[in-house]
Amino acid sequence: MSANTADSLFDRLEPLLMQVSKPIQYVGGELNARTKDWDSVSVHWALMYPDAYEVGLPNQGIQILYEVLNERPDALAERTYSVWPDLEKLLRLHGLPQFTVDGHRPVGAFDVLGISFSTELGYTNMLAALDLAQIPLHAADRDDSHPIVLAGGHAAFNPEPIADFIDAAVLGDGEQVVGAITDVIAAFKAEGSPGGRDELLTRLAETGGVYIPRFYDVSYRPDGQLAEVTPNRTRVPARVSKHTVMDLDEWPYPKTPLVPLAETVHERMSVEIFRGCTRGCRFCQAGMITRPVRERSIEGIGAMVEAGLAATGFEEVGLLSLSSADHSEIAPLSKQLADRYEESRVSLSLPSTRVDAFNIDLANEFSRNGRRSGLTFAPEGGSERLRRVINKMVSHDDLINTVSAAYSQGWRQVKLYFMCGLPTETDEDVLEIATMAQDVIRAGRKATGSRDIKATVSIGGFVPKPHTPFQWAAQAAPEVIDNRLRKLRAAINSDKSMGRNIGMRYHDGEPSLVEGLLSRGDRRVGAVIEQAWRDGARFDGWSEHFSFARWMSAADVAFTGQSVDVPFFTTRERDADEVLPWDHLDSGLDKQWLWDDWQDALTGYEQDDCRWTPCFDCGVCPTMGTDIQVGPTGKALLPVAAKR
């Protein structure tokens, strides 16, 4: 590959940077950034987070892969982010391509362009970057001189809507598979690249862990449903498996997190304390596709916090996971970290926590130095019936007891997260959110004796996702969601004695519908993405850039003459025997188990967590040849000495 020159474009970029907003985001040179000599390595990776720098820089996945790849003597990795429209315009005017922020090299010169999709709303930014990089949009039009365009991240568990634009996709944990891919490419180049791009992609497919969409043919039934997805050549597997790193302590990355000059969405250091979650919330794609639970040891966490703070100078450490209070040693871990950093100005935070009294104790531990501003809980569903449907087991009384404890211990504000548009949901379920918020205010007033108690309810639209029990569900139409939220707003405001104490934050239902189209779409949705991008769509995760009308008109154009439309992919409920676009992609979950769990949801039957109850056969452990990995280990955090 790499026929293009890889020389730095910085001299030509520099005059343009004086004319754009926040130019610091394009110059690289962050603390802990790496630059390696281009010619000293065989395999060159460009890693892209398809959103603005301020969102992409803190992304843990990119930072981990950047470090892992740059540690290899035979590879280098540089980063690239979406450029804002002001710079895109100037780059086009001056004939400059999408570039990396490390070496300011053209993205088209790399061997691999790896793009991490946390959300499907980044797809149009991928097209913008490919076009700016002067890489053909369609994989079929690329030749040996172009990078392999590789998708990863959670959205890659159904890459079918972007199948035309990517050469390859990987599912699951990236830190090991990027090494395996590098090995394949390095060997192929050392042999003189026999057979060109086609042979390289075949070798990657042969590993069983890299999905090459063009090697699979898709056929459709007259009613628009999928008929089948079959490999169109030998040497490629019928199903492609996800990757699972089993021992997190062997992968203590990022060791030296990037510290941006520019302001970003997370100004803190993050340490992932475990991966995976078996709480079994039926809406949660992350919990389903990252199984089994794998804990990092308390010693490993302590060492990462210590080394990371020394390497960055950050003031805050976030203990990251899908449900951080579920770490088997979270109590000793938080106490020992709080002891170690009590005298310093380092603060600790625990995102993603559940609703229970235990978490108040943890939160108190994390706020020893005084600040008790806000606590966040996520009941997700407004009524107990609905919470049984989604398998989020929190009773109304539990929640009220918990917030009472929080208010009485000095916490000033409680934030409650919910979703709207969940399967089986009625107006009454959503209206119960108002009741809950009002009970929270009453409990707070009682606990503190003060009328000045605040609570915020924050509501997101539910999007059914692949590889979850809700993958068959009908998504609620935007009008349904907007109507329910209007009624909820009226219910909250109706009680004058506390309406002012309850804040309500929500998004309207339209962006969720587009996300739903991109989440559960098949290859036919690719034409919609391309049309939307041609019509100007980019930064679709930003409300000021998103246009629902543009997406719907793009869908009208792209689906003309087809037997499918937007409702087919979104508001239509699927049957048990329907071939789903991602059935040939193996997340480890047994499809029959997912279906049974979907049926249990409809009858409000709850499923326990396999960490504390017997295995319920979701299928992941036997498929992956592994098991859940949890403590307690009974070990302690080292060093114990307090830091000032």
Partner 1 sequence: MQRIRLRYAKRGRMRFSSHRDFARAFERSLRRAEIPMAYSAGFHPHPKISYVGAAPTGVGSEAEYLEIALAERQDPEQVRAAIDAVLPAGLDIVAARDVAHCPAGSLPDQIHGSRWQLEFGDAADGLPAAVAALLAEETVLVDRFTKDGKRSLDARAAIVWASVSISNSAASNAGAPTGTEAPASAEAASGLGDESGPGRAILDMVVRQVTPTVRPDDVLTALQSVAGFAPSQPPRATRLAQGPIDEAGAVGDPLGITQFVNNQTPVGNR
Of these, 1, 4, 26, 201, which contacts partner 1 (CB under 8 A)? 26
Minimum distance from residue 17 beta carbon to partner 1 (Å): 6
Of these, 6, 17, 186, 286, which contacts partner 1 (CB under 8 A)? 17
Total H helices, total E strands in the chain: 21, 18
Cβ closest to partner 1, residue 14 vs residue 199? 14
Distance, in Å, from the CA atom of 488 to the CA atom of 555, rounded to the nearest integer, reads 31
The CB-side HSE value for 458 (13 A sphere, CA atoms) comes to 9
Distance, in Å, from the CA atom of 638 to the CA atom of 109, rounded to the nearest integer, reads 45
| Candidate ranges 39-47, 154-162, 189-197, 304-312; the one touching partner 1 (CB under 8 A) | 304-312
The 8-class DSSP code of residue 603 comes to: T
Cβ closest to partner 1, residue 310 vs residue 638? 310
Of these, 40, 345, 560, 577, which contacts partner 1 (CB under 8 A)? 345
Distance, in Å, from the CA atom of 394 to the CA atom of 398, rounded to the nearest integer, reads 6
Cβ closest to partner 1, residue 152 vs residue 257? 257
| Candidate ranges 27-35, 165-173, 329-337, 360-368; the one touching partner 1 (CB under 8 A) | 27-35
Of these, 7, 29, 144, 357, which contacts partner 1 (CB under 8 A)? 29
- Considering only residues 254 to 283 of the shown chain, the ones binding partner 1 according to CB under 8 A are 259, 261-263, 267
- CA-nearest of 81, 138, 120, 79 to 537 is 120
| Candidate ranges 9-17, 65-73, 233-241, 413-421; the one touching partner 1 (CB under 8 A) | 9-17
- Considering only residues 370 to 399 of the shown chain, the ones binding partner 1 according to CB under 8 A are 370-371
φ/ψ of 359, rounded to 5, equals: -70, -25
Minimum distance from residue 405 beta carbon to partner 1 (Å): 24
Does the footprint of partner 1 cover residue 30 (CB under 8 A)? yes
Cβ closest to partner 1, residue 312 vs residue 321? 312
Strands (E) located in 296-453: 316-320, 347-349, 374-380, 413-420
Does the footprint of partner 1 cover residue 343 (CB under 8 A)? no
Return the H-helix or E-strand segment holding 116.
Answer: strand 112-116
Distance, in Å, from the CA atom of 301 to the CA atom of 333, rounded to the nearest integer, reads 9
Q: Cβ distance 157 to 466 under 8 Å?
A: yes
Of these, 2, 22, 385, 439, which contacts partner 1 (CB under 8 A)? 22
Cβ closest to partner 1, residue 18 vs residue 549? 18
Cβ closest to partner 1, residue 8 vs residue 456? 8
The CB-side HSE value for 243 (13 A sphere, CA atoms) comes to 23
Of these, 66, 314, 462, 598, which contacts partner 1 (CB under 8 A)? 314
Does the footprint of partner 1 cover residue 19 (CB under 8 A)? yes
Distance, in Å, from the CA atom of 328 to the CA atom of 439, rounded to the nearest integer, reads 32
| Candidate ranges 15-23, 134-142, 185-193, 565-573; the one touching partner 1 (CB under 8 A) | 15-23
Does the footprint of partner 1 cover residue 315 (CB under 8 A)? yes
Does the footprint of partner 1 cover residue 569 (CB under 8 A)? no
Integer CA distances (angstroms), 183 to 73, 146, 156, 203, 597, in order: 12, 19, 22, 11, 40
Tokens 């599912």, residue located? 171
Q: Cβ distance 73 to 17 under 8 Å?
A: no
Does the footprint of partner 1 cover residue 496 (CB under 8 A)? no
Does the footprint of partner 1 cover residue 63 (CB under 8 A)? no
Does the footprint of partner 1 cover residue 549 (CB under 8 A)? no
User: What is the total count of residues that contact partner 1 (CB under 8 A)?
Assistant: 29
| String of contacts with partner 1 for each residue 216-255, x by CB under 8 A | ----------------------------------------
Distance, in Å, from the CA atom of 279 to the CA atom of 288, rounded to the nearest integer, reads 9
Distance, in Å, from the CA atom of 199 to the CA atom of 194, rounded to the nearest integer, reads 7
Secondary structure (DSSP) of 18-51: TTSSSGGGGS---BT-----GGG-SEEEEEEESS
Cis bond before residue 50 (omega within 30° of 0): no
Minimum distance from residue 313 beta carbon to partner 1 (Å): 3
Does the footprint of partner 1 cover residue 14 (CB under 8 A)? yes
| Candidate ranges 18-26, 396-404, 448-456, 478-486; the one touching partner 1 (CB under 8 A) | 18-26
- Residue 115 contacts by C-beta under 8 Å, 6 or more apart in sequence? 48, 49, 50, 122, 126, 129, 149, 150, 151, 152, 153, 166
Of these, 2, 6, 24, 600, which contacts partner 1 (CB under 8 A)? 24
Distance, in Å, from the CA atom of 200 to the CA atom of 382, rounded to the nearest integer, reads 51
Minimum distance from residue 150 beta carbon to partner 1 (Å): 29
Q: Which parts of this chain interact with partner 1 (CB under 8 A)?
A: 10, 14-15, 17-19, 22-24, 26-31, 259, 261-263, 267, 310-315, 345, 370-371
